[in-house]
Each structure stands twice: as C-alpha cells, then as structure tokens.
C-alpha cells in the first residue's frame, strides 16, 4: 500500500493555492520559496498530475488543482482543530505550583505525591524557588512565605506556624549535654540569613540572654541550616512546618518541646487570577486540605 503524502507537502500546496504565490505561502508557513516549490513538485509527483500552471510571474491552478483544493481545506481545518483541542486539553490538565525550596522539599513534595496517586489524570509541575517575586510569577498556584505584618491581599494562610528549637540527638548526651535552657548558650547557633529574629524569639521563650552569645554558623537556606544541625553543627531555631520531617525521622530532637513561640513568618497560598479552571481548584483545595489536616490551625482566606 502506498504511504500517504507528507502533511507539510499538502499544507504547502494549500497555502500556495490560496495565495497563488509560492512566496506568500513561504512567508505564511515559515519556509523558503524554494522549499514550497519543492514540496508542491513532490506532491505532484506523488499524485501523478500537475497542480499548477507555472507562469513567469504568476501561478494558476490546473483543473486537477481546482478539484483537489476544496477537499483539503476542511481536512486541514479538522487537523488544526483536533491538534488545538489536544494541546488545550493537555494545558488544562496541567497545574504549575511555585513554592520556596525549603517547604517544597520538607512538606509540599509529600503533599503533591499523594495528590498524584489520587488524581493521576492531573499533571503538576512543582517549581522550587529561593527568592520569589509574586508580581512576576507565571505559576497557577504560588506558595509564599510572608511576615505577619507584610501580608498581601488575596492570600490564604496555610497554617499558624510556630518556632521550634532543634539539635542532633547526640547533643543531649555527654559533658556538654543540653539539659537546661542555659545550656543552649554553650553551643553554636545556626542562623538563616533574613530569619535571625527566630533566635531572638526563641531566646525570649527560653528565658535566656542572647546578647553576649557569639557562637554562630550562618547560611542563606533553611534546608542547609537543618542539615548542619543534623551533623551536630549546633542548634537551630526554625519553623515547625519545615522541621517536622526531621523530627519524625529522628534526625533532630527538641530539647525543650514546651518552648514554641509563634513564628513571625508563615506561608500563604496565592492563586493566579488567570487560572480559574477546575483542575487548578482541585490542586489548590488538595493543598489547603492537607495543610489543615496536618496543621489544624490553618485559617481561611485573608
């Protein structure tokens, strides 16, 4: 059985017939004039009949070309419509979620993995960020960390976060073991740049004076700080939402679990105003439901 003619040859003929110009067809389809001419000649060879009368400065359809053209146009329209429908369907079944890297790794990854099992028909693209600008976000859903006094309108708070003091289990034993709050002053403190106030809040909650403490490690990423703590690099004051997986895995422990001051920073969910479809709402509601079930104090939209 003879294989079908290449589709780009048929498109080249249709455009050339519509414009009666190889040059105009080339401009429309993004080919060279020579390529359009070559496509049409190949199609003529395939059919075994001439489709154009080629004059020095013009084209004219042959009788065969006149008969062939009307059958092509609706067929090409159907192909284009079917292709657009498939593309639109794929696009409408995909949700882009942007989230700070620390929360993406320590909480959202598990949340979205469970969503994938429950809704395999929806594709989720998770974009981890370090510094985010909501004004330039192209995501359908954006999770953003904000100070309580710097909240943006339209966001939904995921939960009321608290700070926890954590260290490697080994720091609870030995001659420098942490048993009383004052023992915290004997060890290095791990700071996350931009979140130094966490330690001030934690020191107040423990009733210790942090003014003279100069033993510190600093990093620009919460996950690096948590890893430093697991390696025995010191103590960290951080958000419970980020630290919970480390606690559950036994990598870090709370020497003073009763000291959990409110976090001045917490996470909010923002939905793109351009993303109103049911697929986006499905993912959004899943994230919020998981947040409320795992951190019961998550309130409603601000």
The residue-averaged pLDDT of 168-190 equals 91
Query: Is residue 245 a contact partner of residue 107, using CB atoms and an 8 Å limit?
Result: yes
Closest by CA position to 161, among listed 101, 224, 103, 227? 103
The residue-averaged pLDDT of 211-240 equals 91
Query: Is residue 129 a contact partner of residue 101, using CB atoms and an 8 Å limit?
Result: yes
Architecture label for domain 7-91 = Orthogonal Bundle (1.10)
Query: Is residue 107 a contact partner of residue 241, using CB atoms and an 8 Å limit?
Result: yes
Show me where the domains of the chain are located: 7-91, 93-160+265-294, 163-248
The lowest-confidence range among 76-85, 154-163, 180-189, 272-281 is: 76-85
Per-residue pLDDT of 108-159, as tens digits, reads 999 999 999 999 989 898 888 766 544 445 688 999 998 877 766 778 999 9
Q: Out of 3.40.190.10, 2.40.50.140, 3.40.50.720, 3.40.50.880, which CATH number does the structure's domain 93-160+265-294 have?
A: 3.40.190.10
Q: Out of 3.40.190.10, 3.40.50.300, 1.10.150.120, 3.10.20.30, which CATH number does the structure's domain 163-248 have?
A: 3.40.190.10
| Distance, CA of 276 to CA of 157 (rounded, Å) | 19
93-160+265-294 and 163-248, same CATH topology: yes
The residue-averaged pLDDT of 186-208 equals 93
pLDDT at site 302: 37
Closest by CA position to 232, among listed 173, 162, 164, 185? 173
């Amino acid at each position: 059985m003879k294989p079908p003619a290449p589709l780009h040859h048929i498109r080249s003929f249709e455009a050339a017939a519509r414009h009666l110009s190889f040059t105009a067809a080339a401009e429309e389809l993004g080919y060279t004039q020579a390529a359009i001419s070559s496509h049409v000649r190949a199609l003529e060879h395939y059919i075994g009949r001439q489709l154009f009368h080629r004059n020095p400065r013009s084209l004219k359809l042959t009788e065969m070309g006149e008969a062939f053209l009307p059958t092509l146009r609706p067929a090409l329209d159907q192909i284009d419509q079917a292709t657009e429908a498939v593309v639109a369907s794929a696009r409408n079944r995909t949700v882009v979620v942007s989230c700070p890297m620390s929360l993406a790794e320590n909480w959202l990854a598990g949340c979205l993995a469970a969503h994938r099992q429950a809704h395999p028909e929806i594709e989720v693209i998770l974009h981890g960020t370090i510094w985010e600008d909501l004004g330039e976000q192209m995501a359908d859903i954006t999770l953003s960390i904000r100070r309580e006094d710097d909240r943006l309108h339209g966001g939904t708070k995921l939960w009321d976060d608290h700070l926890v003091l954590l260290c490697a289990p080994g720091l609870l034993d030995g001659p420098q073991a942490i048993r009383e709050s004052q023992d915290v002053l004997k060890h290095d403190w791990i700071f996350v740049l931009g979140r130094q106030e966490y330690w001030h809040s934690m020191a107040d909650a423990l009733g210790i004076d942090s003014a003279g403490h100069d033993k510190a490690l600093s990093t620009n990423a919460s996950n690096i700080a948590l890893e430093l703590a697991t390696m025995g690099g010191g103590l960290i004051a951080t958000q419970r939402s980020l630290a919970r997986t480390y606690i559950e895995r036994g990598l870090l422990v709370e020497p003073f679990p009763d000291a959990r001051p409110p976090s001045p920073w917490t996470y909010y969910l923002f939905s793109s105003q351009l993303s109103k479809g049911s697929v986006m709402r499905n993912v959004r509601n899943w994230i919020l439901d998981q947040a409320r079930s795992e951190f019961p104090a998550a309130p409603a939209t601000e």
